[in-house]
Amino acid sequence: MSWVSGFFYDGETAGRHSVTVEMEEGAGALLLTGPTLDDVQRWPLHRLRALSDHARETSLTLTLHARTKDESLRVAARLIITDKDLIARLKKLCPDLSRQDMQVGSWQKIVKCSALAAGALALMVLVILPRMANTLAELIPVDREIAFGKSVTAQMETALGASKLGDLHCSNAEGNAALERLVARLTKGQALQYRPEVQVLNHKMVNAFAAPGGQIVMMRGLIDNATGPEAVAAVLAHEIGHVERRDATRHALRAAGSAGLLSMAMGDFTGGAIAVFLGERLLQASYTREAETEADAFALEMLNASGVDSTGMADFFNQMQKLEGQGPEVLNYFSTHPASASRAAQARGNAATQVETTPALNKKDWAALKAICG
């Protein structure tokens, strides 16, 4: 049996030892001897491991498998050989040469820690943060909340393209009076925490928002597309429902708390942005759908109390349904609002039980409201 030369590092000091390496095939071991070595090193072939993903193609760095507490279950000593024949023979003789040994129990640890991390994340996002947001939303002084709401509507205006604040405000004497009468009729006899401040914005979007502190914004497009004053009344009642439940404030608190938690879990890996976007959409939808359902219930009660026919609400939802088009069912989980069809059915069911209703606004007032942006 011939020998080849190599370099040996004993794992004790940073000194380099020149050694001769001999293969003892019968004993199944490599023998290392050298002038600077105290003892002959005998490395059993079945425990030999080679470093992987190595940049040097002409040499092989060897070490020994051992039950250490180390990260890699290997002894600290290293042997470097460059002899082509020996490298080839070792690759043939040692089946475990490129094995990546793992500490016993690693898989159990992975499963346990994954469950723990997923559980903690779910607990925070689904239970603790919503509860904290609910409690804190009640603690904010009303005047601060109104100031916050005004800044939200101001930002919304800027986002809709107002070059300076107030550019998009719709206001004229008759229109304002009609709107006031409508709000007064809805809120009459109700014990409300907030005085609703309704603002109509000149924009074609068919939508309305409830910002914190009673700030309600309605788009011109919604009034243009409404089948009658009852539809506008229903939307207003719905938004007042959000206001009373402090939904906007709670959502802002919740969003601030869970910001970045999902993207943290997914990391910045290739394609991760898509997964994070879908996840956040799903999460937000689950929050808001519940709030929408409760605001609907609030709106129906308000309409009943003020004697406004909820058929207008049903018509409005049917119209929304048409505008949305026929999306596949799965999209409901991603949508922030419950399905319009079921909301329309609920409003129609309620209308059947209503005994005495009168128009929400008289013809003249309704015409004035429709012309508020004119």
Residue ranges in 257-286 that form contacts with another protein under rule CB under 8 A = 257-261, 264-272, 274-275
Min separation Cβ 358 and another protein, Å: 38
The Cβ of residue 246 has, within 10 Å, a number of other Cβ atoms equal to 24
Query: Could you say which residues in the range 231-250 bind another protein, by CB under 8 A?
Result: 249
Q: Which stretch binds another protein (CB under 8 A): 110-118, 240-248, 280-288, 302-310?
A: 110-118
Minimum CB separation from another protein for residue 265, in Å?
A: 6
To the nearest 10°, report the CA torsion of 102, 106, 107, 109. -170
Nearest distance in Å: CB 272, another protein: 6
CB 299 within 8 A of CB 247: no
Query: What CA dihedral angle connects 299, 300, 306 and 312, to 10 degrees?
Result: 90
63 - beta bridge partners?
A: 49
What is the nearest approach in angstroms of another protein to the Cβ of residue 189?
30
Residue at token pair 């793992």 = 102
To the nearest whole angstrom, how small is the minimum distance from the Cβ of residue 283 to another protein?
A: 13
Dist. CA 190–CA 301, nearest whole Å: 11
Q: Which residue has the tokens 């996002």?
A: 125
Binding mask 125-164 for another protein (x = CB under 8 A): x--xx--xx--x--xxx--xxxxx-xx--xx---------
Q: Which of residues 187-226 bind another protein (CB under 8 A)?
A: none
Contacts 24+ apart (CB under 8 A), 132-136: 132/253, 132/257, 133/250, 133/251, 133/253, 133/254, 133/257, 134/250, 136/253
Nearer to another protein, 38 or 71 (CB): 71
Q: Which of residues 76-105 bind another protein (CB under 8 A)?
A: 76-78, 80, 100, 102-103
Q: Among residues 139 and 173, whose Cβ is nearest to another protein?
A: 139
CA dist 88 and 71 (Å) reads 28
The encoded tokens of residue 128 equal: 């603790």
Please give the size of the binding site for another protein, defined by CB under 8 A: 79
Residue among 20, 72, 227, 321 that touches another protein (CB under 8 A) = 72
Q: Which is nearer to another protein, 6 or 175 (CB)?
A: 6
Torsion sign, CA atoms 217, 223, 227, 230: positive
Q: How far apart are CB 96 and another protein at their closest, in Å?
A: 17
Taking the C-alpha atoms of residue 102 and residue 299, their distance in angstroms, rounded to an integer, is: 61
Closest contact distance (angstroms) between CB of 257 and another protein is 4
If the CB atoms of residues 118 and 184 are measured against another protein, the closer one turns out to be 118
Residue closer to another protein by CB (options 75, 367) is: 75
Supply angle C-alpha 344, 246, 199, rounded to 5: 70
Name residues contacting another protein, limited to 28-67 (CB under 8 A).
51-56, 61
